[in-house]
Amino acid sequence: MKAPRTKRARPTPVSQLEAESSTPPRIPTGQRQAAAENGSSDISNDAIARRAHELFVSRGAVHGHDLDDWLEAERQIRSAEHSL
């Protein structure tokens, strides 16, 4: 006896993928609170979001790494400010 067939997920249309890749990632609420508590409010969230989006696009716009991109962008911006 054969197992019942399961439905396969439909692939995401290309137009939707293109729209998602042009949208900057949301800033996680927990990170905003942690940044405020750590005194890192001197760094612009907009600057971090822009850099995180650049990292996202440079990785091929693969979703699921928004926190990694955000933290890496913040680290890069901090190191650039400290080297001035």
Letter for the amino acid at 53?
H
The predicted pLDDT at position 56 comes to 96
Rounded CA separation 36/45 (Å): 11
pLDDT tens-place string over residues 25-71: 565 566 555 555 555 456 899 999 999 999 999 999 999 999 999 99
pTM of the prediction? 0.51
The set of residues, in sequence order, having a beta carbon less than 8 Å from that of 51 and lying 6+ positions away, is 73, 76, 77
Q: What is the largest CA-CA distance in the chain?
A: 71
**How many Å apart are CA 49 and CA 33, to the nearest integer?**
15
pLDDT, residue 46, reads 94
